[in-house]
Amino acid sequence: MICMTYFDKTDARMLSALSENPRATGVDLASGLGLSRNTVQARMNRWESEGALHPIDHRIPPRNLGRPLLAFVTARVDQHQLGEVTDHLARIAEVIEVFGLAGETDLLIRVVAADTDDLYRIAGLVLGVPGVERTNIGIAMRELIAYRTMPLVSEIAGR
């Protein structure tokens, strides 16, 4: 689902506060930010109904699930089979994200594995998907900048 919600300054202030204290209640946010409880609750309800925030599983590090190895697989696919390829990839538990690309490759597939032997197995599963013509794998050695949006939130909040 593509969310069309754009966060304004008040939303950004609420998101900043939630980032600092993820378990804050609506009452906590309202009193800490000088907002009414109804304003806070209405905005949080809108975020939820419009799918403006990712589900909690986006915050679970795969290493805590026994998959410390991160790799990126690029794939060329038969464009006529893109839907089927995507459906097959979604059934591989270790595939945690897939992006459609423009350019030399068609897909960027983020996978996690227990070790290099496990990665070899997963790469075979990806390559075995009907419609996948060629793959290339890059193993992530170190995360240099973690996924982040708080600098953007802070900018919107005027900080």
In the prediction, which pLDDT does 4 show? 63
In the prediction, which pLDDT does 118 show? 98
> CATH 3.30.70.920 in the chain, residues?
62-139
Task: Report d(CA 67, CA 28) in Å as an integer.
Answer: 36
> CATH 1.10.10.10 in the chain, residues?
9-53
In the prediction, which pLDDT does 1 show? 47
In the prediction, which pLDDT does 57 show? 79
pTM over 0.95: no
CATH number of 62-139: 3.30.70.920
Q: What is the chain's mean pLDDT, rounded?
A: 93
In the prediction, which pLDDT does 2 show? 52
Rg (CA), the chain: 20
Q: Pick from 117, 76, 74, 118: which is nearest to 93 by CA? A: 118
Task: pLDDT tens for the chain, 159 residues: list them.
Answer: 455 678 999 999 999 999 899 899 999 999 999 999 999 999 999 998 888 888 877 888 999 999 999 999 999 999 999 999 999 999 999 999 999 999 999 999 999 999 999 999 999 999 999 999 999 999 999 999 998 999 999 999 986
Q: How far is CA 111 from the centre of its chain?
A: 12
List of residues 6+ apart from 21 with CB closer than 8 A: 28
The per-residue pLDDT for range 59-86, each reduced to its tens digit, is 889 999 999 999 999 999 999 999 999 9
User: Which class does domain 9-53 fall in?
Assistant: mainly alpha
